A and B are shown apart, each in its own frame.
Chain A
């Protein structure tokens, strides 16, 4: 299985901050990587597909980059509704695997 390692596992930030989350794959996955946001008690929401493509309706303050094994997810100018847990997910190989998540908390 391809292992997906996110860092940090948790992060404290303030409204208006810029935050970056990293995701590292154990093998080259090209750009076959998605990012999700999950709020407590809810299903994950797809934000970015193919490493850098913003889903329709997702604010432009969210962005993604990277390829092969190293990927980055960035939120510029944090908003109150952005405090949540974020996951990366690879779909280069089956089984599909997810990172362990990064919990973004209010400082």
Chain B
């Protein structure tokens, strides 16, 4: 059974960098798009970006200047970094597996990230 377990700091100050990691257990890392999605009351579900097992990545243009997604195939882990965090970035952040492009069939448990001074 595939499981995604994510972790990272949940409380940040404005201008700090968010760092989250998602570990994949029980399934192949290859052949999928590993994705970060966030959810806030004001903006609903927002796709942040994705990385293929090969390392090629795509980002939401609205966040592209601040976001970096990387992967460690030796550990089956995917990481998200989002710089210059602001209150508007407060949200629950999810990692997800994209099957056949972007069918998100497995998700992490979500991490509530709050940005406050």
Contact = CB atoms under 8 A, between A and B. Distances in A.
B47 A43 contact: no
A34 interface: yes
A64 to B, nearest CB: 13
Contacts, number: 47
Given A87-B45, A98-B45, A43 B110 contact: yes
B101 A91 contact: yes
Interface string A82-95: 00000101010011
A67 interface: no
Interface residues of B, number: 20
Contact of A95 (B60, B94, B96): B60
A87 B96 CA distance: 16
**Interface of chain A: mostly helix, strand, loop or mixed:** loop
A89 B44 CA distance: 12
A98 B47 contact: yes
Contacts of B61: 95
Between A44, A50, A55, A96, the greatest number of chain B beta carbons within 10 A of the residue's beta carbon is seen for A96
A49 interface: yes
**Interface of chain B: mostly helix, strand, loop or mixed:** strand
A101 B39 CA distance: 12
Interface in A28-81: 34, 36, 43-46, 49-50, 55
A96 B107 contact: no
B10 interface: no
A97 B102 CA distance: 11
A46 B105 contact: yes
A43 B44 contact: no
A7 interface: no
13 contacts: A34-B103, A36-B104, A43-B94, A43-B109, A44-B107, A50-B103, A55-B105, A89-B45, A89-B104, A91-B103, A94-B58, A97-B47, A99-B44
